[in-house]
Amino acid sequence: MLKSKKRQTRQKKRPLWEWGAWALLLCLLIPQPVSAQEPAAFSLKEARDYALQYNYNAQKSQLDVLAARKKIRETIGIGLPQVGTSLGYTNNLELPTMLIPDFFGDPSEFIEIQFGTQHNANLGLQVQQLVFNGSYLVGLQTSRIFEQLATEGLERTRLDVVETVSQTYYLILVSQESQKIIQGNIENLEKTLYEIREFYKEGFVEETDADVIQISVTALKNSLQNLEKQTETAYQLLKFQMGIDLSEEVRLSDGLEDIISAQDIEKALAGSFYLETNVDYRLIQTQEGLAEMNLKNERAQYWPSVAAFYQLAWAAQRNSFNFFDFDNKWYRSQAIGLTLNLPLFKSGSQRARVQQASIALDQARKTVRQVSQGLLLEEAQAKNDLSAAFESYTNVRDNMELAQKVYDKTLIKYQEGLASSTDLTQANDRFLGTQSSYIQAMATLLNAKNKLDRLHSDYEVTISEG
């Protein structure tokens, strides 16, 4: 007991730095609260650029271009030397028997003989080179047109992605602005409703005045709830179009007013339209080129084809399986030659195929003419729509300012007892209607501009192949 007490009295106190180290270790072990990650914000241009890189259709179109390039390499390889080897082994379990006349005895009699060995092996090397083939030359040209078609398809897909992403971006902004308008109207009406109820308690107004306002408030709340659901659905659509996981959160950094102010409507209306810059027109021209190549290919079936070959072979015949015994001899043979294939008569079937290809080419040329006229008509209609949308936007904006003044004056008159609750409700409905019309006019203007930009391939993004 005395010794243990003595030990206790001799224990040293822990230094302060040691206590501090333990406290720091505890702080590191205790999990700290993690701040929530802010949702990614996208401007309109950023949303377009992101979609061009990660949109599913854009990525698949990029793979189409890559596949077309591989097709060109495949076609080129057909005309290059083809080298192959062969190795064969035969075990003659029973050698074939042949009958030959008995030249040493009675020639009218036959004797049975067997030729060959039981074990035979051969090793060969073959080299083939296409010298001339009309279909190959046409196919080489056609494969390059396929690459051009895939590249133009990629450009068209990218333009479609930009157009659809822009439309959805506008839709979300319109829904959000409409929510702000309705929320503001609800707050104003609830304030007015509170004042009317206070007036009712004092006996200055009837209860029906408050009921009329309450009906409007309830209707606006229902509209607000529907808009919130539509906005949520539009966000999901935008993320799908951009190639973003649907579970991720995003927000939009541009506003409708900002996008509208950035638009040069007069310049867009005065711009010229050139068919050669329109990807849809270039696509149909490329398809016409494919029809021409098809006709050339069918005509090339009448041309001869020439191929050269070289063969090198070794053969061994043994009565025992000793091919790995290099003391025994292998017999070598070589050959070189040309093969000429000249079609002479196909019973008219090839002539019919040429005629079908000629008809298809004629149809393709008429389609080019049809598409060119249709695009010119579509561009003119798009400009008319943009002009009408811009005029409507200007008029609705002025009407909204007038409706604001009418509502403010009606509210003052109602508070002074010079207007009824019905007058106030109608003025508020008109003001709300003009606000909604203004938002819709902005959306119509932007969509009309978006459509015209699509025809002119005039987007502020990089749409060429990267």
278 vs 24, more confident: 278
The answer to whether residues 364 and 434 belong to one domain is yes
CA pair distance 451, 392, nearest whole angstrom: 17
The answer to whether residues 278 and 402 belong to one domain is yes
The CATH code of the domain that includes 67 is: 1.20.1600.10
Q: What is the pLDDT of residue 37?
A: 62
DSSP letter at 275?
A: G
Whether residue 466 has pLDDT greater than 90: no
Q: Which domain holds residue 224?
A: 40-78+135-304+348-456
For 152-193, how does the pLDDT look when each residue is reduced to its tens digit (9 = 90+)?
999 999 999 999 999 999 999 999 988 988 888 888 778 878
Distances, alpha carbon 371 to alpha carbons 185, 278, 337, 366, in Å: 49, 11, 52, 9
H helix intervals, 30-55:
44-54
The answer to whether residues 52 and 195 belong to one domain is yes
For 54-87, how does the pLDDT look when each residue is reduced to its tens digit (9 = 90+)?
999 999 999 999 999 999 999 999 899 999 999 9
Question: What average pLDDT does this structure show over 124-152?
Answer: 92
Mean pLDDT, the chain, integer: 85
DSSP letter at 14?
A: P
The answer to whether residues 251 and 379 belong to one domain is yes
Residue from 57, 287, 56, 293 nearest 149 by CA = 287
Whether residue 16 has pLDDT greater than 80: no
Residue 445 lies in a domain: yes
Whether residue 365 has pLDDT greater than 90: yes
**What angle do the packed helices 134-202 and 279-300 form, to 10 degrees?**
160
150 vs 3, more confident: 150
Residue 247 lies in a domain: yes
Tally of domains in the chain:
2
For 198-208, how does the pLDDT look when each residue is reduced to its tens digit (9 = 90+)?
777 777 667 78
Residues 181-211 as b/e (b if ≥16 CB within 10 A, e otherwise) read: bbeebbebbeebbebbbebeeeeebeeebbe
pTM over 0.85: no
The answer to whether residues 255 and 402 belong to one domain is yes
End-of-domain residue from the set 341, 368, 393 = 341
Q: What is the pLDDT of residue 93?
A: 86
Tokens of 69: 């390039």
The answer to whether residues 140 and 123 belong to one domain is no
CA pair distance 261, 90, nearest whole angstrom: 85
